[in-house]
Amino acid sequence: MSSVSEPQVAAESSPAEVVPAIEVHDLTVAYWTQPVLWDVDLTLPEGKLIAIVGPNGAGKSTLLRSILGLVQPITGWVEIFGKPYEKRRSWVGYVPQRESVDWDFPTSALDVVTMGLYGSLGWLRRPGKKERATALSCLDKVGIAHLAGRQISQLSGGQQQRVFLARALAQDARLYLMDEPFAGVDATTERAILALLQELRATGRTVVAVHHDLQTVAEYFDHVVLLNMRLVADGPIATTFTDENLQRTYGGRLTVLSQAAESLLRAESGAPKLDV
Amino acid sequence: MFELSFTARTVLAGATLLGIVGGALGSFALLRRQSLLGDALAHAALPGVCLGYFLTGSKSPLPLFLGALAAGIVGSLTILAIVRYTRLKEDTAIGIVLSVFFGVGIVLLTHIQKLPSGNQSGLDKFLFGQAATLMPRDVNAMAVLGGVVLVLVLLFFKELRVLAFDPDFGASLGFPMRRLEVFLTTLLVTVVVVGLQTVGVVLIVATLITPAAAARQWTERLGVMVLLSAAIGGFSGAAGAVISAGWARLPTGPVIVLVASAILLVSLLFAPQRGLLWAWLRERAVARRIRRENLLKDLYRWGEQAGDRWQEPVSPPLVMGFRGQTRNQLAGVARRLDRQGLVHWDDAGIRLTGEGLERARSIVRKHRLWELYLTRRLDLREDHVHRDAEAMEHALSDANADRLDALLGYPEADPHGRVIPRPATTSPRVA
């Protein structure tokens, strides 16, 4: 009889009940007639450091932006912990590419980090003492609390990246989406960022980061998504980050497919009105 | 001493109000790199003024104002739609809307002025503005609308900040950034329309952009910038009104713009940090320091070649030959070093003082350490490293030089076999 109870115990923690951090279903995104993501299906587990890897123009940033609802897909949907993004906004922190903003903007590092709290403040309420204290503690976590008052153009590239990370920390999210957090930073910052990601993982957070340096993928991350317009492979580093999969991601064998996809899209929409 | 007439006081109030509101709002347009948007909105308002006149046949301000507001909003939405739904970029969209709407406006205006009643309409004042026609009720309306705009900017300051700095991040937080964009544009349209009678279609953009650009020069805080921009705008408006009241034939609008532009010019030149003058002074100071350091180094090397007789006097013509300097150039550098006590210059020639020798050693050390670093660590050839070291010797801090020294294991000689000197003040060698 004892053998009967065992499957029941197993059933309670069966995979069906584990809600993934991110589920992407049938996602197709195009900028005008140029497809960027083609029919991507993806399930990403919670509590891991996950790298999105692929050649230039593979749609890595677009995938991140689609998950955040910044890009409207042609088909498909995305769910964060089982719900659409609009319902999970407060669970998600975002670190955009550093080049995406004007660093000559008249604002201090602390002001930028405080923006991470705007979501929880909501409309009209202004950040006060409490918010500034929170923001300062986030700057401290990335090791640049002493630069809080510094105008952001006076920071080095690595320090600017830390400011963006601190802003995401201020969001106090369960899931972090980061667009090339390691791009163009010095070695010290790279180590600091890595330590931060590991700390986030240790506290049960999930981090999905677009990553460009193939040398460090296996060392820094647990899980990898190989992308080249289509999903090539995804899974744990050990089984997925293989030479063969990399060859398929970077080897240019997808040319025929991308051409086919493009002509299909052109045929479908003569005068496309895409929300991009 | 200045007795302003009733009309002049009305103009003064209107122009000051317009300057304050335009300056505050213009900061956001400037930071969003939409300086020309205000210009397009102003030009787009002209056909609205004409249509307002057509539809009501009256030249009372309200229909003209509403017409301008409606046309401005249609123009701004057209720009947003062109950017969103076509592949044209924003500058193109702004150019298209500006010219098409303004063209229509000029056609309508010409037509109205050919009508029997039309040449009395006074609509042409909207082209270049005619502040003298401002009535107290106009100023009251400006005060109410301007006040509303300022309150809205204050209330939505946080949202406007994130819109201007990082709209994608704002969207990820759940703020409807497109609606905020329309909101900001509507505020801009309102200010533009409010200012049409005073400054006119053609120049109104200056009341938005010029104070903001000037204010940006003086501060690194958004809140301060908005306040300062409003103050500069208000001052320009007031000064423009007073000046044009004092010199009867000067038009108010252009004078306001000229006052603001003068403030901008001063700000561009003299603001600390961002001003051109300070940038030039900083650059000159660096260039002078490099020339002084080069002279110390040259004297050291000359002494080194003469058998480590570093403090022997060297004749000025000889030193001039080191770098092809003229006598005046050398004199400028050497006199400054003499005053600093780093060289001594008398009839015998120029020689390093004890302190000067220390400084020279420190510079030469940096140069030779860097050469060694490049050849050892980066595998550059010995004859390829000198130019790089020429720059680094002036840039490397003492602390980093110490680190470099330690990293290389406190070497005795550079890649060319010359001794690497160490000033007595250098941190002691650690084995």
Q: What is the CATH number of domain A17-100+173-268?
A: 3.40.50.300
DSSP A233: E
Interface of B with A in 118-137 (CB under 8 A): none
Q: Name the residue with higher pLDDT: A13 or B318.
A: B318
Residue B121: what pLDDT? Answer: 64
Residue B155: what pLDDT? Answer: 94
Q: Which residues lie below 8 Å from residue A7, measured CB to CB, with a gap of 6+?
A: none
Confirm or reject contact between A115 and chain B (CB < 8 A).
yes
- B293–chain A nearest CA distance, Å: 27
- pLDDT band per the 50, 70, 90 thresholds, residue A264: low
- A125–chain B nearest CA distance, Å: 8
Question: Where are the domains positioned within chain B?
Answer: 6-271, 278-352
**A70 → closest Cβ in B172, B216, B221:** B172
Question: Where are the domains positioned within chain A?
Answer: 17-100+173-268
Confirm or reject contact between A97 and chain B (CB < 8 A).
no
Residue B105 confidence (pLDDT) above 90? yes
Mean per-residue pLDDT of chain A: 84
What sections of B156-274 are H helices per DSSP? 157-165, 167-172, 177-199, 204-216, 222-246, 252-270
Q: Which residue of A has its CA nearest to B87?
A: A32
Q: Is B151 exposed, middle or buried (0-12, 13-18, 19+ CB in 10 A)?
A: exposed
C-alpha–C-alpha distance, residues A215 and A62, integer Å: 23
Per-state percent for chain B, helix, strand, coil, to nearest 5: 75, 5, 25
Mean per-residue pLDDT of chain B: 87
pLDDT tens string B177-200: 999 999 999 999 999 988 888 888
B/e letters for B88-126, b = 16+ CB within 10 Å, e = fewer, are eeeeebbbebbebbbebbeebbeebeeeeebeebebebb
Rounded to a whole number of angstroms, the CA Rg of chain A reads 20
Residue A163 confidence (pLDDT) above 90? yes
Cβ contact B158–A126 (<8 Å): yes
Residue A16 confidence (pLDDT) above 60? no
Residue A144 confidence (pLDDT) above 70? yes
**B216 → closest Cβ in A32, A106, A115:** A106
**A273 → closest Cβ in B85, B172, B225:** B85
Q: What is the CATH number of domain B278-352?
A: 1.10.10.10
Residue A274: what pLDDT? Answer: 41
Residue A5: what pLDDT? Answer: 39
C-alpha–C-alpha distance, residues A167 and A148, integer Å: 12
**B158 → closest Cβ in A86, A105, A127:** A127
**A115 → closest Cβ in B156, B169, B174:** B169
C-alpha–C-alpha distance, residues B238 and B13, integer Å: 7
Q: Which residue of B has its CA nearest to A102?
A: B165
Q: Which of these ranges, A117-126, B265-274, B417-426, has the smallest mean pLDDT? A: B417-426
- Choose the CATH number for B6-271 among 3.40.710.10, 3.40.50.300, 2.40.50.100, 1.10.3470.10: 1.10.3470.10
C-alpha–C-alpha distance, residues B412 and B422, integer Å: 10
Confirm or reject contact between B228 and chain A (CB < 8 A).
no
Residue B130: what pLDDT? Answer: 81
Segment B38-66 shows an average pLDDT of: 86
CA proximity to B132, closest of B37, B254, B252 = B252
**Cα angle: B204, vertex B207, B210; to 5 degrees:** 125
Residue B59: what pLDDT? Answer: 72
Residue B267 confidence (pLDDT) above 90? yes
Residue B329: what pLDDT? Answer: 85
Residue B147: what pLDDT? Answer: 94
Tell me the chain A residues in contact with residue B274 when contact means C-beta distances shorter than 8 Å: none
Look-up of token digits 């098409």: B100
Q: Which of these ranges, A15-24, B77-86, B345-354, has the smallest mean pLDDT? A: A15-24
Residue A129 confidence (pLDDT) above 80? yes
Do residues A162 and A109 make contact, with C-beta atoms less than 8 angstroms apart?
Answer: no
Confirm or reject contact between B222 and chain A (CB < 8 A).
yes
C-alpha–C-alpha distance, residues B120 and B113, integer Å: 8
Residue A270: what pLDDT? Answer: 47
CA proximity to B230, closest of B207, B263, B253, B246 = B207
Per-state percent for chain A, helix, strand, coil, to nearest 5: 45, 20, 30
pLDDT tens string B154-175: 999 999 999 999 999 999 998 9
pLDDT tens string A188-200: 899 999 999 999 9
Confirm or reject contact between A68 and chain B (CB < 8 A).
yes
Rounded to a whole number of angstroms, the CA Rg of chain B reads 33
Q: Is B312 exposed, middle or buried (0-12, 13-18, 19+ CB in 10 A)?
A: middle
Residue A257 confidence (pLDDT) above 60? no
Q: Name the residue with higher pLDDT: A274 or A180.
A: A180
C-alpha–C-alpha distance, residues A178 and A196, integer Å: 13
